[in-house]
């Protein structure tokens, strides 16, 4: 039977990328194949994010555009999954009546049943039940995962930390860790399909397994993954500074596949605000953690998240953040303007910071970080980096793109590189968001992994 076509739009974090791949695997079993053309789709799924207000607005504007398509083609199925779906439930259908299916973060595994209800019973369905197991229903790689150099593997869901600004504990529920066996099996299958690098995902991977009570904690999981034959690089995200244990820091010394990069969101440099954020560490604790990490792995890249304009943030607090950013010397920083999220304590905090002040602080922070990132990148010019080839650059014509162990993007214009290969590349120029590599072996076509050709010229 002719396959049906699905078009999935993934918004937000890596967790959603993993969930979208899960959806792809489930849909493949229902004879749906992915399409790159929204116009050709029989099923369109928006996998949504609600971490900040802006992300939520994006969902409704996208849905607005789909309304016209649905009027022209009433058979088209429109589904909304992810965090906005979980939070909005029926309200989403009231606001966007052309949506056929609303399924929350817990309902991904029930997707096939929901689609059948839509097609067979010709009715709208909503599933925002907070029930289900953390284990994925399919662990065999999806079509789009096979043949890629890198993959994400979710090792836990939810979060117990309740940072006062954050909606995640409400939309993704309490923290639950997957069993190690399923995780290891999933990674083994990915490696068998050519994946070279795996990133383990969780809201706070440092507390992996602690609630399961079987003594198999995150460092133990890293050790077990490190032993999987054929896996070249291992990464993880996100770590919470309050749970950065010596054992985890030690893993950077002993595990050969573990890439020297740690994403360690600090959020703010002022103790007063960190307390109001309910982060559970001080500025000094954070700095001490970075020092320990660098002692064990001097070349480690450290990246972070910062929120500006948290309720009550004064100019002196913000200046403490600037000073912290300057003294740590992050490799990269993800910066956000605080926005109120429903249900979170901070939404009810007084002394909100005005939009203009937030904008101004964000610009100052970005200016500082861009200068520092560029400095770091410039110090790499002239060095040779081991680059894992990911494919053709989307932004730079005729260029191959990949990443260094420290997770820096390198584009290079020539070489005999295949997807999934590790190649030594000499860095010739530095930009704020990437590095330019010199030619490896000129004048050849890049034969892609498993027979595909990367047309470089």
Q: Count of CB atoms within 10 A of residue 199's CB?
A: 21
The binder of 339, among ligand SF4, ligand 5AD, none, by C-beta within 5 to 8 A per type, is: ligand 5AD
**Residues touching ligand 5AD: how many (CB under 6 A)?**
12
Nearer Cβ to ligand 5AD, position 50 or 142? 50
Count Cβ atoms within 10 A of the Cβ of residue 265 and give its class: 0-12 exposed, 13-18 middle, 19 or more buried.
buried
Nearer Cβ to ligand 5AD, position 142 or 239? 239
The binder of 169, among ligand 5AD, ligand SF4, none, by C-beta within 5 to 8 A per type, is: ligand SF4
Contact call for residue 336 and ligand 5AD (CB under 6 A): yes
Using H for helix, E for strand and C for coil, what is the string for the chain?
A: CCCEEEEEEECCCHHHHHHHHHHHHHHHCCCEEECCCHHHCCEEEEEECCCCHHHHHHHHHHHHHHHHHHHHCCCCEEEEEHHHHHHHCHHHHHHCCCCCEEECCCCHHHHHHHHHHHHHHCCCEEECCCCCCCCCCCCCCCCCCCCCCEEEEECEECCCCCCCCCCHHHHCCCCEECCHHHHHHHHHHHHHCCCCEEEEECCCHHHCCCCCCCCCCHHHHHHHHHCCCCCCEEEEECCCHHHCCHHHHHHHHHCCCECCEEECCCECCCHHHHHHCCCCCCHHHHHHHHHHHHHHCCCCEEEEEEEECCCCCCHHHHHHHHHHHHHHCCCEEEEEECCCCCCCHHHHCCCCCCHHHHHHHHHHHHHHHHHHHHHHHHHCCCCEEEEEEEEECCCCCCCEEEECCCCCEEEECCCCCCCCCEEEEEEEEECCCCEEECCCCCCCCEECHHHCEECCC
Identify the CA nearest to 231 among candidates 183, 181, 261, 192: 192
Contact call for residue 243 and ligand 5AD (CB under 6 A): no
Nearer Cβ to ligand SF4, position 203 or 321? 203
The binder of 307, among ligand SF4, ligand 5AD, none, by C-beta within 5 to 8 A per type, is: ligand 5AD
Stretch that binds ligand SF4, among 24-32, 161-169, 184-192, 438-446 (CB under 6 A): 161-169
First to last CA, the chain: 38
Contact call for residue 341 and ligand 5AD (CB under 6 A): yes
Contact call for residue 155 and ligand SF4 (CB under 6 A): no
Count Cβ atoms within 10 A of the Cβ of residue 209 and give its class: 0-12 exposed, 13-18 middle, 19 or more buried.
buried
Contact call for residue 286 and ligand 5AD (CB under 6 A): no
Out of 203, 373, 401, 434, the only residue in the binding site for ligand SF4 (CB under 6 A) is 203
Question: Site residues for ligand 5AD, window 294-323 (CB under 6 A)?
Answer: 305, 307
Contact call for residue 168 and ligand SF4 (CB under 6 A): yes
Nearer Cβ to ligand SF4, position 201 or 419? 201
The binder of 338, among ligand 5AD, ligand SF4, none, by C-beta within 5 to 8 A per type, is: ligand 5AD
Out of 161, 177, 303, 385, the only residue in the binding site for ligand SF4 (CB under 6 A) is 161
Contact call for residue 88 and ligand SF4 (CB under 6 A): no
Contact call for residue 346 and ligand SF4 (CB under 6 A): no
CA dist 252 and 227 (Å) reads 15
CA dist 120 and 77 (Å) reads 12
The binder of 203, among ligand 5AD, ligand SF4, none, by C-beta within 5 to 8 A per type, is: ligand SF4
Query: Which x/- pattern, by CB under 6 A, does the window 242-271 give for ligand SF4?
Result: ------------------------------
Shortest CB 10 distance to ligand 5AD, Å: 15
Contact call for residue 166 and ligand 5AD (CB under 6 A): yes
Stretch that binds ligand SF4, among 2-10, 64-72, 162-170, 380-388 (CB under 6 A): 162-170
Contact call for residue 265 and ligand 5AD (CB under 6 A): yes
Nearer Cβ to ligand 5AD, position 321 or 413? 321
The binder of 304, among ligand SF4, ligand 5AD, none, by C-beta within 5 to 8 A per type, is: none
Nearer Cβ to ligand SF4, position 13 or 423? 13
Out of 34, 147, 169, 311, the only residue in the binding site for ligand SF4 (CB under 6 A) is 169
Contact call for residue 52 and ligand 5AD (CB under 6 A): yes
The binding site for ligand SF4 (CB under 6 A) comprises 159, 161-163, 166, 168-169, 203-204, 240
The binding site for ligand 5AD (CB under 6 A) comprises 51-52, 165-166, 265, 267, 305, 307, 336, 338-339, 341
């Amino acid at each position: 039977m002719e396959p049906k076509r699905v078009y999935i739009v993934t918004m937000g974090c890596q967790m959603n990328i993993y969930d979208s791949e899960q959806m792809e695997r489930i849909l493949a079993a229902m004879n749906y194949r992915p399409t790159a053309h929204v116009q050709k789709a029989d099923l369109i799924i928006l996998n949504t994010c609600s971490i900040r207000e802006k992300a939520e607005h994006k969902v409704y504007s996208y849905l607005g555009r789909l309304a016209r398509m649905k009027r022209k083609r009433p058979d088209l199925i429109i589904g909304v999954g992810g965090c906005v779906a979980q939070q909005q439930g029926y309200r989403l259908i009231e606001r966007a009546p052309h949506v056929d299916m609303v399924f929350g973060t817990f309902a991904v595994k029930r997707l096939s049943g929901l689609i059948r209800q839509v097609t067979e019973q010709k009715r709208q369905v909503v599933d925002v039940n907070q029930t289900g197991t953390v284990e994925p229903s399919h662990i065999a790689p999806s079509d789009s995962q096979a043949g890629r150099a890198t993959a994400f593997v979710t090792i836990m869901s939810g979060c117990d930390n309740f940072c006062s600004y954050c909606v995640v504990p409400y939309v993704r529920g309490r923290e639950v860790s997957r069993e190690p066996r399923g995780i290891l099996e999933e990674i083994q299958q990915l490696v068998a399909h050519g994946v070279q690098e795996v990133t383990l995902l969780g809201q706070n991977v440092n507390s992996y397994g602690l609630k399961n009570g079987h003594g198999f904690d995150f460092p133990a999981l890293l050790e077990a993954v490190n032993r999987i034959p054929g896996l070249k690089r291992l990464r993880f995200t996100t770590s919470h500074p309050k749970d950065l244990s010596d054992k985890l820091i030690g893993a950077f010394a002993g595990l050969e596949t573990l890439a020297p990069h740690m994403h360690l969101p600090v959020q703010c440099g002022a103790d007063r605000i960190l307390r109001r954020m309910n982060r559970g560490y001080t500025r000094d604790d954070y700095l001490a953690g970075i020092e320990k990490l660098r002692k064990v792995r001097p070349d480690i890249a450290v990246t972070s998240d910062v929120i500006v304009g948290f309720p009550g943030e004064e100019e002196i607090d913000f200046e403490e953040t600037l000073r912290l950013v300057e003294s740590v010397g992050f490799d990269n920083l993800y910066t956000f303007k605080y926005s109120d999220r429903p249900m979170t304590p901070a939404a009810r905090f007084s002394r909100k910071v005005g939009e203009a002040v937030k904008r101004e602080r964000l610009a100052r922070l970005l200016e500082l970080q861009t200068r520092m990132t560029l400095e770091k990148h410039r110090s790499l010019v002239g060095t040779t980096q081991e680059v894992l080839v990911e494919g053709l650059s989307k932004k730079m014509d005729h260029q191959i793109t990949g990443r260094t162990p420290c997770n820096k993007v390198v584009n290079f214009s020539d070489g005999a590189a295949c997807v999934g290969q590790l190649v030594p590349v000499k860095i010739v120029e530095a930009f704020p968001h990437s590095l330019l590599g010199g030619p490896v072996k000129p004048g050849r076509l890049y034969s892609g992994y498993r027979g595909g050709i990367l047309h470089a010229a």
